[in-house]
Amino acid sequence: MAVQLSGLWLPTTTISPHPLRSRSKSLATALASVSPSPIPSIQIVDGKVPGWYHDKNANSSNTFEGYQGESDWIDLDAELYHWTKPLRPVQWYPGHIAKTEKKLKEQLKLMDVVIEVRDARIPMSTTHPQMDSWLGNRKKILVLNREDMISTADRNAWATYFAQQGVKVVFSNGQLGMGTMKLGRLAKSLASGVNIKRRAKGLLPRAVRAGIVGYPNVGKSSLINRLLKRRMCPAAPRPGVTRELKWVRFGKDLELLDSPGIIPMRISDQTAAIKLAICDDIGERSYDVVDVAAILVQMLTRLPTIGPKALYNRYKIDVDGLCGKIFVEKIALQLFNGDINQAAFRVLSDFRKGKFGWVALERPPR
């Protein structure tokens, strides 16, 4: 007898019905239950690729060739939806965000141009669903920060998509300052009409006002600091560091508004919420680190540029057809004396540091 787990068929005697949530069995028992020989064959239901080890001598680097096309990204998103469905919802809305949102809406009236910063690894998941309605007809520049954390193919795909949408996009690396000068020039050029109108009314020219908005920890403050070439805004690699709106001047003709990250009060799309957790764009207390790491493992094994080989090279542990939760448990036993939370933190940290290679977790919608 077999049961279906996250799009995979597994024997009922080896895995509990909800492997990502199970905490009852000891790690040793869990591993003992999945280690008999031979390894059972595992089939992806309704998928286009064979099982992880459909053949005893199969090359794992070739196993995921089916996930090269855009349609296969849609398949991966569908699987991600099913993986997240049984989990505790990821929600995070600290008090300072509610206050910020109210003040930001008031400041938007003063802005000539708005710079929306997103995480280049998950551009669709790091856009506020109400952003366009807040901005109205104001000119907007889209910044995809952390371009150094995605592949050239990912970058080209997103550049083409936004060009077709008529959106002005700048790729940047807030840590090294790449793209920041281009961003400053573009903001000034888009708002140049402001002073033309002022002169026509007999008013003196003023500095262009640009507001920088976006989700927590996408690099807004780092971009400003790089533009100013000095540390004017607090910045750290974790969500929730900036808590107050702050205007700073860039030369004589540009003023920038640094703002805390804004996020919906309730995240209805839990696949997006999991990606926020994976990329450290949401508060750590909002999610179960083991669940998130387990889903990350299952995603990485299906990405053609990563696959199970990269995981083996990093940890010297075979994925061998197991679900992500059990892979994290194996890391815990081998490296952390059974501490599964430490193992999960290691997996997430390794992804965030590019230890598996730089890759986006989203591709443009079709």
Please list, in sequence order, all residues whose beta carbon lies within 8 angstroms of the beta carbon of residue 69, skipping any fewer than 6 positions away.
Answer: none
Angle at the Cα of 151 from the Cα atoms of 144 and 186, rounded to 5 degrees: 30
Question: What pLDDT does 348 receive?
Answer: 97
Tokens of 243: 């808590």
- Per-residue pLDDT of 178-206, as tens digits, reads 777 788 788 878 777 878 888 888 888 88
pLDDT band at 30 (very low <50, low <70, confident <90, very high): very low
Torsion angle defined by CA atoms of residues 206, 212, 213 and 218, in that order, rounded to the nearest 10 degrees: 180
Domains along the chain? Answer: 72-88+288-353 (no CATH), 94-258 (3.40.50.300)
C-alpha–C-alpha distance, residues 83 and 298, integer Å: 9
pLDDT band at 48 (very low <50, low <70, confident <90, very high): very low
C-alpha–C-alpha distance, residues 92 and 265, integer Å: 7
C-alpha–C-alpha distance, residues 128 and 130, integer Å: 5
- Per-residue pLDDT of 108-136, as tens digits, reads 888 888 999 999 999 999 999 988 888 88
Find the length of the chain.
Answer: 366
pLDDT band at 365 (very low <50, low <70, confident <90, very high): confident
Averaged pLDDT of the chain: 77
pLDDT band at 290 (very low <50, low <70, confident <90, very high): very high
- Per-residue pLDDT of 206-250, as tens digits, reads 888 888 899 988 988 788 777 776 554 444 444 444 547 778 887
Top mean-pLDDT range of 27-31, 129-133, 290-294: 290-294
Please list, in sequence order, all residues whose beta carbon lies within 8 angstroms of the beta carbon of residue 39, skipping any fewer than 6 positions away.
Answer: 53, 320, 321
221-253 b/e (C-beta count within 10 Å ≥ 16 → b): bbbbbbbbeeebbebeeebbebbebbebebeee
- Contacts by 332-337, CB closer than 8 A, 24 or more apart: 332/27, 333/27, 333/28, 333/31
